[in-house]
Structure 1
Amino acid sequence: MLDIQTQIARLKRPPLLVNAARFGLKDYRRKTHLPRILQGPVPAKNHAVLVTLCDMESHLNSLRKTRDAAYSAARHVEVLIALIAEARRIAEVKDPN
């Protein structure tokens, strides 16, 4: 089983989604956005946040691939923004240089 950071690093998504998420990173505010994105309380452990976001993103990606009517590109982008921001946050804590 791959660790969560490796899973995130291996994500392959359309460039338009990734670019939109990168563009949105500058406006990401954890206290404001994360509870809304998770649609509930934020888990206390950072790893649990990443796992939840990975699961959400994976589900959205499968909806995208199957062209499901429930798919929302805007929702997918906001989940990707949170996923990237939270992964960076954890990486900074592990490597405080």
Structure 2
Amino acid sequence: MTDFHRLLSSLRRPRLLVRAARLGQCEYNRTRDLRRLMRASQIPGPETALTHLIAEEALLEADRRAGGATYSVARHIDLLIAMMAEARILPQAPWGRTI
């Protein structure tokens, strides 16, 4: 298990958000969705993308917990979908080792 996988498995989010993100993975299109979520013209590798997505999701989670007026549940779900999908395509660590 990589450090990214450990980090993602340790996240605690409301069940409804996680369930929506799991269901949304079937519609995930890396090219389209990463460009939109990261506001980037070039699509980075999965590790770089995941680092960015995790940081942005943490900010959104803090905004959700604080009851911020700018919180967007749709964007939060989109970020969780992308995080789950990017974690799936990470290169696998050699057996028994973590990256």
TM-score by length of 2: 0.85
Which amino acid is the alignment partner of residue 94 of structure 1? Q
User: Hey, what does 1:9 align to over in structure 2?
Assistant: 9
Which range moves more in the overlay, 3-12 or 60-69?
3-12
Deviations 1:32-80 (A, max 9, x none): 1111011113453321111100001100000000000010000000000
Relative contact order (alpha carbons < 8 A, sep ≥ 6): 1 or 2 greater?
2
Kept in 1: contact 2:35–2:43 (CA 8 A): no
Find the counterpart in structure 2 of residue 94 from structure 1. 92
Count of equivalent residues: 92
SS at match of 2:87: helix
Structure 2 residue ranges without an equivalent (≥5): 94-99
Other-structure match for 1:79: 79
Which is richer in helix? 1
Unpaired segments ≥5 residues, structure 1: none
State whether residues 31 and 43 of structure 2, in contact with CA within 8 Å, keep that contact through their aligned partners in structure 1. Answer: no
CA distance in 2, matches of 1:51, 1:40: 14
Distance of aligned partners of 1:42 and 1:11 in 2 relative to their CA distance in 1, 3 Å threshold: farther
2:39 aligns to what?
39
Identity of aligned residues (%): 36
Q: Give the TM-score normalised by structure 1.
A: 0.86
Name 1:62's counterpart in structure 2. 62
* RMSD over aligned Cα atoms: 1.7
